Amino acid sequence: MKLVRYGDVGEEKPGMIDADGVLRDLSAHVKDIDGAHLGDAVLHALSELNVDHLPVVEGNPRIGPCVGNIGKFLCIGLNYSDHAAETGAAIPEHPILFFKANSAIVGPYDDVMMPRGSTHTDWEVELGVVIGKECKYVSEADALDYVAGYCVINDVSERHFQTQLTGQWTKGKSCDTFGPTGPWLVTKDEVGDVQNLAMSLDVNGKRMQTGNTNTMIFTVAQIIEHLSGLMTLHPGDVITTGTPPGVGMGIKPEPVYLKKGDVMELTIEGLGTQRQSVGEDA
């Protein structure tokens, strides 16, 4: 299933994308696409619905983040071997973890707003993992059983804030609008091999990132095993799993960063496409 949330900010309704790409309303069957409704029983019940009987959503509503009331927004850094190489960083021994503020979360087509004084705002296409049931101390072998589905995330990053403002990466990762999420939550049964998904990101129509989840240093299952050994993961928690090469800071001979009016378009195989225009905070 491709589950979606649509409507104005803070008033999103649950929906489903049918086989023809038509948005259908799920409001009569589930309150929201969030942690309380991502367990196996609810997802199974939704999968059994006759999609043709679901109301068609008319017009062209805004598409919101594909998960509502996200609990923890956990991020893994330097998790692609080819991206680590372009930044000159050593391969990490364990997954590098940082957090992104939930106030950064926006819809997949909402504008990305550079914060005041930003000159180093960068792009990062990433695979998002949505936890479907509580897990703690799970093994790599069992880890994917705890996943509800996957989505596209743009881990927008202000590199000066991230590396020069003294502290952890969170400073450069948590600016408002720096977490576009969606368009859909694709349930795991439709994704196939999550470690073999093509991914790309364009800026103003020019291909900047090309990659595949098969170059991850730590797989999705290994990441879940590691994180669940540190903390309990709850339904509705989201893990974003790193980015392939081609980020602005890695461009030679000089880095290239976003500016007002730029347009980002990013895609992961089977998970949909995001598109954001770049603006500036007043």
> CB of 2 within 8 A of CB of 26?
no
pLDDT of residue 39: 96
At 170 the pLDDT is 85
Residues of the chain scoring pLDDT < 70: none
Give tens-digit pLDDT for 152-182.
999 999 998 888 887 778 898 999 999 999 9
pLDDT at 215: 95
pLDDT confidence of residue 64? 98
Q: How far apart are CA 138 and CA 232, in angstroms?
A: 10
Q: What is the pLDDT of residue 164?
A: 81
Quote the pTM value: 0.96
Quote the pLDDT of residue 82: 82
Task: Give pLDDT tens digits for 62-79.
Answer: 999 999 999 999 999 999
Per-residue pLDDT, 163: 82
Residue 161 and residue 196 in contact, taking contact as beta carbons nearer than 8 Å: no
The pLDDT value recorded for residue 40 is 96
How far apart, in whole angstroms, are the C-alpha atoms of residue 191 and residue 196? Answer: 10
Domain boundaries, the chain: 2-53, 73-280
Structural class in CATH, domain 73-280? alpha beta
Residue 122 per-residue DSSP state = E
